Amino acid sequence: MTSLDRLCRGISRAAWGFLFLYLDININEVSITPAFLGYILIVLALADLKEEVPELGLLRTLGIILAVLEFFNWVTKSFGMEFGVSLDVIDVLSSVVSLYFNFQFLTNIATIASKYLTESSGIPAKLILYRNIQVVTVAAETVLSMIAPTKNIGILTALVIAALIVAFVVCLLIVIQLFKLRKGIRALNSNT
């Protein structure tokens, strides 16, 4: 496998990983698109991509921690387990770590896009733009969802829902850009 093939495989894994992170399809109480699979795919992508941007290797440990936390979250929700203890602090810490992880990961992917594609493709700039929008909307959703249950204000709930919708749409836009990046790199690979 050539380094460009490995790069394309890593970008594919990252794109599918992002879909699992933000697409939550449930059958009864069980998510069939659990976020922990998204983190596993992204951790696998890190192995393929770290040759291009060595800093990506530093995200591996965080990715594994996030995968474990999301697996724990999935198991507890899927099987209705309760511990009698509030896990809000863990959820907030997980959200903060996830924001950092996604921010840094997309920054590094934009660096790869700049290396292989021209700026006229628009992909590096769009990845940075979508990364910024994603961070703001996910942070807003996290804060608002913590406040909304304590207050009986419908507007907060509406804002949480709006932030979730924006975050999902931005995720789709990120995935599209990742697949466009892969296509552009594949084109380079076929030209050599």
User: Which pLDDT belongs to residue 74?
Assistant: 84
User: Which pLDDT belongs to residue 145?
Assistant: 74
Which range marks the domain in which residue 158 is found?
3-191
User: What is the tally of structural domains in the chain?
Assistant: 1
User: Which pLDDT belongs to residue 47?
Assistant: 95
List per-residue pLDDT tens for the chain, 192 residues long: 788 999 999 999 999 999 998 887 777 777 788 889 999 999 999 999 999 999 999 999 999 999 999 898 888 878 777 665 556 677 778 888 999 999 999 999 999 999 999 878 899 999 999 999 999 998 888 887 777 666 666 777 788 788 889 989 999 999 999 999 999 999 887 765
User: Which pLDDT belongs to residue 27?
Assistant: 78
User: Which pLDDT belongs to residue 95?
Assistant: 85
pTM of the model: 0.88
Q: Which of 43, 41, 27, 37 is nearest to 77 (CA)?
A: 27
User: Which pLDDT belongs to residue 146?
Assistant: 74
User: Which pLDDT belongs to residue 64?
Assistant: 96
* Dihedral of alpha carbons 142, 17, 62, 129, sign: negative
